[in-house]
Structure formats: structure tokens, C-alpha cells
């Protein structure tokens, strides 16, 4: 009888351990399945986010517009669409801008007032050397000249200072007069005297 009881007890313990092991395996499998589902959902969300951001660009517009700022546009959008969103003012001179040009990511557009010049932009007629120089004066137009052009043609203006000039005009919607260039950090009275007869604003 003792042997039979021991035998039955051993079988009972074995079955108990077996059921415990099966239950543990099932729980682990279920948890792994749930974790896999969570990871799959996270991956799908990331893919959807990447797909939604793909094909989008950000462009800054300022100058003669009612709503200046950074706009999120689609690749292939034209300049005229951005300007319509920013709402040009009555003073805006849209004839100075190539409205049919495609926008590029991270670019800045300055909409000029009548009688002023807009910022040089790829595809614009203003990219020509005639736009960089005052057409009737032969002077450097600081509203359209690139940093490289200013550092090359203006005495005392190095590449870093030329970049500061471009940054200033981008933030402030261009220069209203040549004296305003003195507000750029690094251009004092002495340096201004060196370049004042070589620059113009159009």
C-alpha cells in the first residue's frame, strides 16, 4: 500500500508540474504575441508618419505679405501657391518674382514692394549678373547680391560678414536704404565709408 501511495503521489506531482509548465509556456507565448502586436502597431504608426511627411517641404516667406512665416508645402508646388497662402499686400510687386517656379525645401522668399528688389531665387530673372549689379549704376545691389558676390566685389567684406548681410536682409525683408547696412554686426562707420559708393538698393 505504501508503494502504491508513493507511486500515485509521484504521478500527481508529475502531472502538477506538467500542468504548471504548460501554463507557464502558454502565458509566455501569449505575452510574446501581445508584445509582437504592440511592436507591429508601433512600426505601422512610424511608417504612416514617414509616409505622411514624405514629399513635404518647408519654405519661409516674408516681405509684402499679410501672413509671413514658415509654410509646409508639397514637393512640386509653385511659388504662386505659397504667395496666395501668405496673402500679398497691395504694395507687393509680384512682377519681380517668378511665380511659376517650383519651391525648394528650406528656401526663403522675400516679396518686394513696388520699386524694391526681391531676393534672388533659383529660376528668377534676378539671378543674372545684371540683377546683382545696379543695372544703371554698376554698383552692388545689396538686396539681390549673393554672399559670394559681395565678398568678392566689396572691400573689407569677407565671406562670414557677407553671410551676416544676407541673414539680416532675409530677417528684415530687405534693405530700405544703403545706410541700413550699418545695422549688420561687423559693419561700422569706417567699413561703411569703404563700401558706400559701391553699393545700392533697388
Give a three-class secondary structure readout of the chain.
CHHHHHHHHHHHHHHHHHHHHHHHHHHHHHHHHHHHHHHHHHHHHHHHHHHHHCCEEEEEEEECECCCEEEEEECCCEHHHHHHHHCECCCECHHHCCCCCECCCCCEEEECECCCCCCCCCCCHHHCHHHHECCCCCCEECCCCCHHHHHHHCCCCCHHHHHHHHHHHHHHCCCCCHHHHHHCCCCCHHHHHHHCCCEECC
Confidence of residue 123 (pLDDT cuts 50, 70, 90): very low
Residue span of the structural domain in which 48 resides: 41-118
Residues 49 and 113 in one domain: yes
Out of 38-42, 75-79, 169-173, 185-189, pick the least confident: 38-42
> Domain containing 109 — which CATH number?
3.10.20
Residues 109 and 151 in one domain: no
Residues 98 and 147 in one domain: no
Q: Which of 138, 103, 102, 131 is nearest to 116 (CA)?
A: 131
Residues 151 and 112 in one domain: no
Q: Which of 73, 80, 76, 70 is nearest to 108 (CA)?
A: 70
Chain segment 14-71, per-residue pLDDT in tens: 666 666 656 666 565 556 555 556 556 666 666 665 555 568 888 888 888 999 888 9
Residues 70 and 99 in one domain: yes
- 18 lies in some domain: no
As for how many domains the chain has, the answer is: 2
First and final CA of the chain: distance in angstroms?
115
Chain segment 141-158, per-residue pLDDT in tens: 898 888 888 888 888 888
| Whole-prediction pTM | 0.38
Residues 101 and 135 in one domain: no
39, with CB counted inside 10 A (0-12, 13-18, 19+), is: exposed
Neighbours of 67 (CB within 10 A): 10
Amino acid at each position: 500500500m505504501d508503494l502504491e501511495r508513493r507511486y500515485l503521489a509521484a504521478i500527481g506531482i508529475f502531472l502538477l508540474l506538467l500542468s504548471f509548465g504548460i501554463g507557464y509556456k502558454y502565458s509566455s507565448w501569449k505575452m510574446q504575441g501581445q508584445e509582437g502586436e504592440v511592436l507591429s502597431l508601433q512600426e505601422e504608426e512610424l511608417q504612416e508618419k514617414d509616409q505622411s511627411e514624405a514629399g513635404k517641404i518647408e519654405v519661409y516667406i516674408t516681405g509684402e505679405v499679410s501672413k509671413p512665416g514658415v509654410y509646409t508645402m508639397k514637393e512640386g508646388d509653385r511659388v504662386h501657391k505659397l504667395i496666395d497662402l501668405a496673402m500679398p499686400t497691395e504694395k507687393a510687386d509680384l512682377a519681380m518674382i517668378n511665380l511659376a517656379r517650383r519651391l525648394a525645401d528650406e528656401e526663403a522668399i522675400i516679396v518686394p514692394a513696388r520699386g524694391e528688389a526681391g531676393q534672388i531665387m533659383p529660376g528668377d530673372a534676378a539671378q543674372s549678373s545684371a540683377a546683382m549689379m545696379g543695372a544703371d549704376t554698376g554698383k552692388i545691389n545689396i538686396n539681390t547680391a549673393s554672399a559670394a558676390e559681395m565678398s568678392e566685389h566689396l572691400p573689407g567684406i569677407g565671406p562670414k560678414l557677407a553671410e551676416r548681410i544676407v541673414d539680416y536682409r532675409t530677417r528684415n525683408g530687405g534693405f530700405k536704404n544703403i545706410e541700413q547696412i550699418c545695422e549688420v554686426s561687423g559693419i561700422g562707420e569706417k567699413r561703411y565709408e569703404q563700401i558706400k559708393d559701391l553699393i545700392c538698393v533697388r
